[in-house]
Amino acid sequence: MDYAKDSLKFEYTYWVNKNNDTARGQMLINMYSDKLYGAGVDEALKYHVKYNRTYAYVFGYRSKVTSLPLWMGVPHGGLNPYVFGFPLMNNTVRQMFNLKHKEMYDLRDGIVSDVIMHMWTNFTTSGNSTPYGVRCYHYPEWWYRLFPEGILPWNLDQTTRQILQRMYPNEPWLWDQDPNRPGVYKPWQCNITWPAYNIQNLTYLNLENDTYERYNYHQGHYAFWREFFPSLIKRLPATLKPTPEAIREYQIATFSLAAAVFVILIVIIALTITLCRRHSY
């Protein structure tokens, strides 16, 4: 049992700074996540990709207005509100269907939700999550009416700034521009292409503040749980043998119990015989 504990400690120690409490907590979360969810999902992905086109993703986006503490990161199931479009629902829709959200959402959350719903819908209808390639198809129509090229120029006129400020007063990144910063500002969460899962490099889409393609997610930890840790468990005996001192205690207890049962049995037999004799007279 000690070497199993030591192996877990070694695998999930933040060796850069072992005394970092924040990193220690994050590694503990990673350990439970890898064991309970990640290793199994990774194995299922590698099985499915043998027979059909498969897509993998990691959802790590945190809303700026979330009420969850930072140490929690993105909890399991945190993607669901974005899949069902909760950040896009206004007060009228919420009241109509009596929906009560646990979280508040802003424009960026709505964009992420729109992106996810488009990709999920494309996959269910065509089997390809991003069939249109690099087009910023998820932005609303008014965006393209204002900016036909799909980009937000830094030399916005005053009227456009006022429109954006009225529509999104809590999103200064849209209308409060820095005149000392040259160039153009491309729309956030744009030019996304989701490649199919590749067994050679284990491609997946990383859905965070910036969505991009990555490879080989946590493969070292998953291999630890799938290949190495089970071999440690097999080394443990099925039943632990008690120590000699414990054996003597068990023997004394067993003999005492047997003697007590024997005495009780004799008493029961004697009482039975006595009762039978009384009934016979």
The more confident residue out of 53 and 141 is: 53
Q: How many CB atoms lie within 10 A of CB 135?
A: 13
The more confident residue out of 136 and 219 is: 219
The whole-model pTM stands at 0.63
Mean pLDDT of 215-230: 91
The more confident residue out of 275 and 45 is: 45
What per-residue confidence (pLDDT) applies to 107? 72
The answer to whether 100 and 163 have CB atoms below 8 angstroms apart is no
The more confident residue out of 118 and 242 is: 118
Q: How many CA atoms does the CB half-sphere of 276 hold within 13 Å? A: 6
Mean pLDDT of 119-140: 72
pLDDT at 83 over 50: yes
User: pLDDT tens across 142-177, in order?
Assistant: 555 565 555 555 566 677 777 777 766 766 656 565
pLDDT bucket at 181, cuts 50 / 70 / 90: very low
Mean pLDDT of 109-135: 80
Residue length of the chain: 281
What per-residue confidence (pLDDT) applies to 148? 57
Distance CA 27, CA 126 (A): 38
Q: Which of 131, 126, 116 is nearest to 205 (CA)?
A: 116
The answer to whether 194 and 188 have CB atoms below 8 angstroms apart is no
The answer to whether 119 and 89 have CB atoms below 8 angstroms apart is no
State what percent of residues in the chain have pLDDT above 70: 72
Q: How many CB atoms lie within 10 A of CB 37?
A: 11
pLDDT at 262 over 80: yes
pLDDT bucket at 99, cuts 50 / 70 / 90: low
pLDDT at 229 over 80: yes
Tokens 């009416």 locate to 145
The least confident of 123-132, 236-245, 253-262 is 236-245
The least confident of 54-58, 96-100, 147-151, 201-205 is 147-151
Helix ranges, the chain (H): 2-11, 21-33, 39-48, 80-83, 91-96, 107-126, 141-146, 158-167, 172-175, 219-223, 229-235, 244-280
State what percent of residues in the chain have pLDDT above 90: 18
User: pLDDT tens across 51-77, in order?
Assistant: 888 999 999 898 877 888 888 888 888
Mean pLDDT of 193-201: 88
User: pLDDT tens across 6-45, in order?
Assistant: 889 999 999 999 899 889 998 999 999 999 989 999 999 9
The more confident residue out of 230 and 156 is: 230
